Chain A
Amino acid sequence: MKGIAIEVSRLGKQYSMDGRGPKRAHEAIEQAVRGLMRRKEPKDPGSFWAVKDCSFVVRQGEAVALLGRNGAGKSVLLKMLSRVVKPSSGEAVIRGRMTALLELGSGFHPELTGRENVFFNGAILGVRRAEMETKLDEIVAFSEVGDFLDMPVKHYSSGMYMRLAFSIAAHVETDVLLMDEVLAVGDSAFQEKCLNRMRRAVRQGTTVVIVSHEVSVLAELCTRGLYMDHGKLLIDGALAEATDRYRKDTAA
Chain B
Amino acid sequence: MVRAASASVVRISAERRFPERPLHSVWAARELLVVLAKRDVYLRYQHSFAGISWAILQPLLTVLVLSAFQLLMGNRQTTGVPYPLYAATALVPWTFVVHALTQASHSLPKHMGVINKVYFPRLILPLSAVMGAAADFAVGMALPPALMIYYGIAPGLTLLALPIFVAQAVALAAAAGIWLACLNARFRDTANSLPFVTQLWFFLTPIAYTTDIIPPQWQLLAGLNPMLGILEGFRWALVGVASPWLGTWIAMSWLVILALLGSGMLVFLRSEESLADFL
Q: Do A and B come from one complex?
A: yes
Which residues of A are interface residues toward B (Cβ below 8 A)? 11-12, 15, 20-21, 25, 28, 32, 35-36, 38, 40, 79-100, 102-103, 106-107, 109, 111-112, 116, 119-120, 122-129, 131-132, 134-135, 171-174
Task: Please state if B8 and A79 are interface contacts (CB–CB under 8 Å).
Answer: no
Interface residues on B, range: 35 or more
Contacts of A12 in B (CB 8 A): 14
Contacts of B10 in A (CB 8 A): 83, 93-94, 98
Residues of B7-26 at the interface with A, using a CB-CB cut-off of 8 Å, are 7-16
Which of these, B43, B116, B278, contacts A109 with CB under 8 Å?
B43
The answer to the question of B77 belonging to the interface, with a C-beta cut-off of 8 Å to chain A, is: no
A102 touching B118 in the complex, CB below 8 Å, given contacts A32-B267, A109-B39: yes
Task: Please state if B186 and A123 are interface contacts (CB–CB under 8 Å).
Answer: no
- Beta-carbon nearest neighbor of B267 in chain A: A32
Task: Please state if A84 and B35 are interface contacts (CB–CB under 8 Å).
Answer: no
Task: Please state if A93 and B12 are interface contacts (CB–CB under 8 Å).
Answer: yes
A87 touching B120 in the complex, CB below 8 Å, given contacts A119-B35, A173-B4: no
CA distance A124 to B271 in the complex (A): 20
Which of these, A38, A81, A125, contacts B4 with CB under 8 Å?
A125
Residues of B95-119 at the interface with A, using a CB-CB cut-off of 8 Å, are 111, 113-119
The answer to the question of B5 belonging to the interface, with a C-beta cut-off of 8 Å to chain A, is: yes
CA distance A106 to B119 in the complex (A): 11
CB distance from A189 to the nearest CB of B (A): 23
Task: Please state if A28 and B32 are interface contacts (CB–CB under 8 Å).
Answer: no
A135 touching B2 in the complex, CB below 8 Å, given contacts A21-B186, A124-B118: yes
Which residues of B are interface residues toward A (Cβ below 8 A)? 1-16, 29, 31-32, 35-36, 39, 42-43, 46, 111, 113-120, 186-187, 267, 270-271, 273-274, 276-278
Contacts of B14 in A (CB 8 A): 12, 86-91
A127 touching B2 in the complex, CB below 8 Å, given contacts A38-B16, A93-B9, A111-B46: yes
Which of these, B13, B31, B118, contacts A129 with CB under 8 Å?
B31
Other than the given A84-B115, A90-B13, A107-B111, 19 more pairs (CB < 8 A) read A12-B14, A21-B186, A83-B119, A94-B12, A97-B7, A97-B8, A102-B117, A107-B114, A112-B39, A120-B39, A123-B32, A126-B4, A126-B6, A129-B31, A131-B2, A131-B3, A134-B2, A135-B1, A135-B2
Contacts of A100 in B (CB 8 A): 118-119
A127 touching B43 in the complex, CB below 8 Å, given contacts A21-B274, A100-B118: no
CB distance from A146 to the nearest CB of B (A): 21
Task: Please state if A128 and B5 are interface contacts (CB–CB under 8 Å).
Answer: yes
Which of these, B4, B13, B114, contacts A99 with CB under 8 Å?
B4
Which of these, B4, B5, B11, B114, contacts A106 with CB under 8 Å?
B114
CA distance A15 to B15 in the complex (A): 16
Task: Please state if A83 and B12 are interface contacts (CB–CB under 8 Å).
Answer: yes
A172 touching B4 in the complex, CB below 8 Å, given contacts A32-B267, A87-B13: yes
